[in-house]
Structure formats: structure tokens, C-alpha cells
């Protein structure tokens, strides 16, 4: 079942910095770029006017220039973001080789303080709500959560997020999709995905340039 296969990709790996983490993450990332199954992952990026939007990163692979090829992208991990517009291919993105920006880092599990669902609802009920909201500390109701930057989603759900939604639009769509599942066991499976979408509504930080950027940018 497509839904089950997708969430099974959330490997049970040690937290960042724990024993065995690097080896487990190397195995996971190699599976992603070498596997024959199309992986689809929500991702937050900034639009030209600086507002964060959620879309889908897909088709990740290690680029090959062919035998003896010398292309600058040879051996680099690349992917496509969003959907085709007419005959124009989706934007191509390349993962950096820097340890804090590479694909392995994107799948690293980290402890964060997430928005409680009621805070998200309250914020976006306001008439002039900002695209991303203030961080809520644990002492004020923030929820300790383990997240990674790239959370796999079922292929059948990917089309709902290809069109660059605001974080709250994406969160609302995710909640609606989970509600269509048949029983509690099925609805509990995508909890990491809903947590990810809720976190996307949170600002990166307090300084002006960070206040319009999602913490999952």
C-alpha cells in the first residue's frame, strides 16, 4: 500500500549526535537517492517576496554526467521542487556538500518545541494573521517534538502540495487528508507529517529577517 510504504521510510535511527547515528543516516540517504521508488517530501522555501511556501521535493538522485563526464553536478544530489508549468520543468535544486546543509542533515532527527494545535488555530483566526507565527516556548504550551527537515509523504498525497501553499494552507490540507483515513490506527500513522506541517507555521527567530521565514526553511 502506497501510504504504508511511504511512512515506513521514517527509519528508526538514533538522534543527532548519538552512537550509530551517522551510519544509519548514510544508509537511509543512500536508499533515497539510489532506490527505484519515487520519494516525495514537503519542503518550505521562500518566494521572491520573502514569504515561506510549502511545496513538494521529489525525484532526488545522485547526478551522473556519464562515463568520463566532467559536469559540475557529477556526483551531486539533486531533486525537483513543485510541478511542471506547461512544458517547463520544475525548479531543480542541489543539496550542498556542507555537513549542516547536505541530504543527511535534512533527514536528521532533532528535538524542537512545536506549536500546540490550538495556538495555530488562534493565530490564523486573526483577520491579519502573518504567514508564520511567534515561537511558543514549552513553559507556555509548546510541545516537545522530534522532527526532521524532510518528512516523507505518500505519493498519492503529493499532488495536494505541489502548488506552493502558505504554511497554514498546507497544515489545513494535511489535517483534512488525515481525516479521510478509515480508523484511528491509520490516522496515527501520519502524525510526524502533521507535526511537520504545524512546525512550518513557526517563525525561525525574533530578528527581522527571521520573522518572515519558517523554522523549517
Expressed as residue numbers, the domain containing 131 is 2-210
CB 147 within 8 A of CB 112: yes
Average pLDDT taken over every residue of the chain: 84
DSSP string, 34-66: H-SSPPEEEEEEE-TTS-EEEEEEEEEEE----
Q: What is the pLDDT of residues 29-82, one digit of tens each?
A: 888 888 777 889 999 988 777 789 999 999 888 877 666 656 777 778 889 998
- Model pLDDT, residue 91: 85
Position 127 confidence tier, pLDDT thresholds 50, 70, 90:
very high
The answer to whether the Cα torsion of 29, 33, 39, 45 is positive or negative is: positive
Which residues, 6 or more positions from 14, have their beta carbon under 8 angstroms from its beta carbon? 20, 21, 24
CA dist., res. 193 & res. 127, Å (int): 27
Q: What is the pLDDT of residues 68-82, one digit of tens each?
A: 656 777 778 889 998
User: For the chain, how many structural domains are there in total?
Assistant: 1
Position 10 confidence tier, pLDDT thresholds 50, 70, 90:
low
Q: Is 142 a member of any domain?
A: yes
Q: What's the average model confidence in pLDDT over 194-202?
A: 94
- Model pLDDT, residue 121: 93
CA dist., res. 157 & res. 151, Å (int): 13
Q: How far does CA 152 lie from the centroid of its chain?
A: 7
Q: Is 215 a member of any domain?
A: no
Q: Is 155 a member of any domain?
A: yes
Q: Is 217 a member of any domain?
A: no
Across 2-6, 16-20, 36-40, the highest mean pLDDT is recorded for 36-40
DSSP string, 135-169: ---GGGT-EEEEE-S---B-TTTGGGGTT-B-HHH
Q: What's the average model confidence in pLDDT over 132-149?
A: 88
- Model pLDDT, residue 177: 95
Q: Is 216 a member of any domain?
A: no
Of 6 and 37, the one with more pLDDT: 37
The whole-model pTM stands at: 0.86
- Model pLDDT, residue 83: 86
CB 105 within 8 A of CB 96: no
Q: Is 24 a member of any domain?
A: yes
Tell me: pLDDT of 89 over 60. Answer: yes
CA dihedral (210, 211, 212, 214) in degrees, to 10, reads 70
C-alpha cell at 144: 516537545
Amino acid at each position: 500500500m502506497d501510504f504504508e510504504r511511504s511512512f515506513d521510510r521514517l527509519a528508526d535511527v538514533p538522534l543527532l549526535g548519538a552512537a550509530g547515528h551517522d551510519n544509519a543516516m548514510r544508509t537511509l540517504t543512500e536508499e533515497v537517492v539510489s532506490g527505484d521508488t519515487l520519494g516525495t517530501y514537503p519542503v518550505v522555501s521562500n518566494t521572491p517576496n520573502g514569504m515561506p511556501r510549502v511545496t513538494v521535493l521529489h525525484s532526488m538522485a545522485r547526478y551522473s554526467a556519464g562515463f568520463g563526464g566532467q559536469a559540475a553536478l557529477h556526483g551531486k544530489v539533486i531533486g525537483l521542487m513543485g510541478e511542471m508549468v506547461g512544458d517547463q520543468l520544475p525548479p531543480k535544486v542541489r543539496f550542498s556538500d556542507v555537513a549542516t546543509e547536505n541530504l543527511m542533515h535534512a533527514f536528521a532527527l532533532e528535538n524542537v518545541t512545536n506549536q500546540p494545535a490550538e495556538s495555530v488555530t488562534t493565530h490564523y483566526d486573526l483577520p491579519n494573521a502573518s504567514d508564520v507565527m511567534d515561537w511558543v516556548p514549552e513553559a507556555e504550551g509548546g510541545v516537545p517534538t522530534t522532527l526532521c527537515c524532510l518528512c516523507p509523504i505518500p505519493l498519492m498525497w503529493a499532488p495536494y502540495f505541489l502548488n506552493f501553499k502558505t504554511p497554514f494552507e498546507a497544515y489545513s490540507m494535511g489535517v483534512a487528508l488525515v481525516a479521510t483515513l478509515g480508523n484511528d490506527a491509520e490516522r496515527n500513522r501520519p502524525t510526524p507529517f502533521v507535526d511537520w506541517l504545524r512546525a512550518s507555521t513557526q517563525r525561525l527567530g525574533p530578528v527581522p529577517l527571521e520573522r518572515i521565514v519558517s523554522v523549517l526553511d
